[in-house]
Structure 1
Amino acid sequence: MKLKNSVRAALLTTALISGTVAPAFAADGGPAFSTADQAAATVQKATGTTDIAPDSTRGKVMATDRGLVTVTTPASADGRVSVAASDGSAVTMTLPAAVDAAGTTSAAGTTVYPNAAAHTDLAAQATVDGGARALVTLKSADAPTTQRFDLGLPDGAGLIADGTGGYDIVTSAGGAGVVVRGHIDAPWAKDANGKAVPTSYSLDGNTLVQAIETGPDTAYPVVADPHYTWGIISGTVYFNKSETKVLALGGTVVSWLPHPAAVVGGRSLAGIAGYAVATDQCIKFKVNPGLAPLSPGAALSGSGTYSGSAGDGYCR
């Protein structure tokens, strides 16, 4: 009896530390973990629980450096994850569900949708940075390794590859260029041993497609995750090819940029833009909140080039 009670205590302690719903116990005193408990424990082993918004309700309002952000996880797998900015605009993401499985929320705030697709559990988390994760758990080698997440973007918003495997979510900067207002982080995937599994994104219109490269040595389950934010009002402004050519010739496309001929540390905006034109690229630029430029030195050090790639559709 003492041994059995010790096992029960250890299981309960582990569940509390991991942030899962505490397990029930069967009549014989053994553990009676539910499918939802197991699904949440698997996800939280991969993500940890420190950056999950602690409120266990599905609509979480968080104060961030970009204002109030409301993150909503759906009640069932057929719904949409939503991140809404203080101006009411939102970016939503579907889960790759085959059936409309009901969601169950763990004590740590992970909402899980067990068996929502073949050999696959789904989950969603609101994160303390005012973002959201959509998580896929591949439970065996029979699970599909290509997952599709349809994005709902505000009018005028689009996606630009950030060069590191993720995407910036952009809208008009007012007058010229597009400004970053959200971001999709580069993807990751981990197997049951915590080993990284190669994974990458591509775009099919406004559908984010994640490819997960499992192999014979992969230990299941595998957890993979798109994470995104929305509502940023500062960051990078992207200019297209025609705007870049104007800057290269010393012209002005918007009043809040430094003068293209200004030189800091041997670099000028016109020189950076000229290099972009010569290499068939476009220029990008760092700004402060409200589309005010940084100091000339910081602004030029924050300038760079980017190239058109499948899906970004802006450097053209």
Structure 2
Amino acid sequence: MKIQNSVRAALLTTALISGTVVPAFAADGGAAVSMADQAVATVQKATGTGDVAPGGTAGSVIAADRGLVTVTTPASAEGRVSVAASDGSAVTMALPAVVDAAGTTSAAGTTVYPNAAAHTDLATQATVDGGARALVTLKNADAPTTQRFDLGLPEGATLIADGAGGYDIVTSAGGAGAIARGHIDAPWAKDANGKAVPTSYKLDGHTLVQAIETGPDTAYPVVADPHYTWGIISGTVYFNKSETKVIALGGSVVSWLPHPAAEAGGRTLAGVAGYAVATDQCIKFKVNPGLAPLSPGMALAGSGVYGGSAGDGYCR
């Protein structure tokens, strides 16, 4: 993974060594901790730093387990986080900033934008799995609990709910189906005591809207996290309604699926697809990297249905 941290250097009154705040001393002998230091410490307490890609110089390359991608963090809060695949396609995410605060990067790789919105700090992290986090810190009870992240998707890409609170980012598989080339993880939020705070996503067009359900017992600050990856062909392939009907009738749509009539464990692919048709849904499959052929047992184990009342855009 190539990490480009194009962040303007800000003068700090403290040193950030391996992500740990080491305070300088003010003239009166007290510790002088900057807003950036506080923002870094809060975020890294919530996330840890084990999966954060170190910042380093622009163009530094880190091998990721799932391939090579380029993660670019913005120099200021009104910029966009970008995760680009080796073919040049990219998914970008805008931060929910109101003020174009300059970014400051810690040695551990966390870039913070203090006071970028009302009662709110923002932050970004490149992660070693080939993705990026956009982090929101609600500093007190007056901070807005609804955060909006505008997504920039490649042409032809769309979002499909994964059934676990997140979304797959899919593109055409080339002939039939749509393959997940990226993923938005289910959201999380933690308060100052490390207690989970209920949170969820909904989509407004291509804007990811995160709701954070704070309450009277919430300890501030609260850190919340959208995390996404892009550019690694793995995960799930989705079929639309017409393709699902073909499979239900015993027809072939892609070479890597076994014949729909092939049976394993008393089930067939045609039967799973038939259920999807009967319930006005579509069929999906877990796939091998590179779309390697699946055995009947593997195909059935990785099959499922999606769409219907969820209103997924590809199941139509």
Residue 293 of structure 1 corresponds to which residue in structure 2? 293
Q: In the alignment, residue 200 of structure 1 is paired with which amino acid?
A: S
Residues 236-292 of structure 1 show CA distances to partners (whole Å, capped at 9, x for unaligned) of: 100111111111111112222210000011111101101111222111012223322
CA distance in structure 2 between the partners assigned to 1:264 and 1:60 by the alignment: 48
CA distance in structure 2 between the partners assigned to 1:309 and 1:225 by the alignment: 27
Residue 219 of structure 1 corresponds to which residue in structure 2? 219
Does structure 2 conserve the Cα–Cα contact (< 8 Å) formed by 1:56 and 1:106? no
- After superposition, the Cα gap between the structure-2 partners of 1:38 and 1:88, relative to the gap in structure 1 and judged at 3 Å, is same
The Cα RMSD (Å) is: 1.8
Does structure 2 conserve the Cα–Cα contact (< 8 Å) formed by 1:120 and 1:139? yes
Residue 91 of structure 2 corresponds to which residue in structure 1? 91
2:224 is the counterpart of 1:208: no
Give % identity.
86
Q: What is the DSSP-based 3-state SS (H/G/I as helix, E as strand, rest coil) of the residue aligned with 1:71?
A: strand
Cα deviation, residue 232, structure 1: 1.5
CA distance in structure 2 between the partners assigned to 1:215 and 1:304 by the alignment: 37
Does structure 1 conserve the Cα–Cα contact (< 8 Å) formed by 2:67 and 2:130? no
- After superposition, the Cα gap between the structure-2 partners of 1:207 and 1:104, relative to the gap in structure 1 and judged at 3 Å, is same
CA distance in structure 2 between the partners assigned to 1:275 and 1:94 by the alignment: 39
Q: In the alignment, residue 43 of structure 2 is paired with which amino acid?
A: V
Cα deviation, residue 58, structure 1: 6.2
Q: What TM-score do you get using the length of structure 1 for normalisation?
A: 0.91
Residue 253 of structure 2 corresponds to which residue in structure 1? 253
Q: In the alignment, residue 301 of structure 1 is paired with which amino acid?
A: A
Cα deviation, residue 312, structure 1: 2.9
Q: What TM-score do you get using the length of structure 2 for normalisation?
A: 0.91
Q: In the alignment, residue 295 of structure 2 is paired with which amino acid?
A: S
CA distance in structure 2 between the partners assigned to 1:114 and 1:234 by the alignment: 36
Q: In the alignment, residue 299 of structure 1 is paired with which amino acid?
A: A
CA distance in structure 1 between the partners assigned to 2:243 and 2:255 by the alignment: 13
More helix as a share of residues: 1
Q: Give the stretch that moved more between structures: 127-136 or 48-57.
A: 48-57
Cα deviation, residue 22, structure 1: 2.9
Residue 81 of structure 1 corresponds to which residue in structure 2? 81
Q: In the alignment, residue 142 of structure 1 is paired with which amino acid?
A: D
CA distance in structure 2 between the partners assigned to 1:300 and 1:217 by the alignment: 45
2:124 is the counterpart of 1:135: no
Please, which runs of 5 or more residues in structure 1 have no aligned partner?
1-11
Does structure 2 conserve the Cα–Cα contact (< 8 Å) formed by 1:60 and 1:126? no
Q: Give the stretch that moved more between structures: 282-291 or 80-89.
A: 282-291
CA distance in structure 1 between the partners assigned to 2:176 and 2:232 by the alignment: 18
Report matched runs for 1:111-260 at 5 Å.
111-260=111-260
CA distance in structure 1 between the partners assigned to 2:20 and 2:312 by the alignment: 39
CA distance in structure 2 between the partners assigned to 1:53 and 1:179 by the alignment: 27
CA distance in structure 2 between the partners assigned to 1:312 and 1:60 by the alignment: 38
Q: Give the stretch that moved more between structures: 52-61 or 170-179.
A: 52-61
CA distance in structure 2 between the partners assigned to 1:267 and 1:108 by the alignment: 50
Q: What is the DSSP-based 3-state SS (H/G/I as helix, E as strand, rest coil) of the residue aligned with 2:160?
A: strand
Please, which runs of 5 or more residues in structure 2 have no aligned partner?
1-13
Does structure 2 conserve the Cα–Cα contact (< 8 Å) formed by 1:308 and 1:314? no
Q: What is the DSSP-based 3-state SS (H/G/I as helix, E as strand, rest coil) of the residue aligned with 2:228?
A: strand
Cα deviation, residue 59, structure 1: 5.7
CA distance in structure 2 between the partners assigned to 1:219 and 1:59 by the alignment: 39
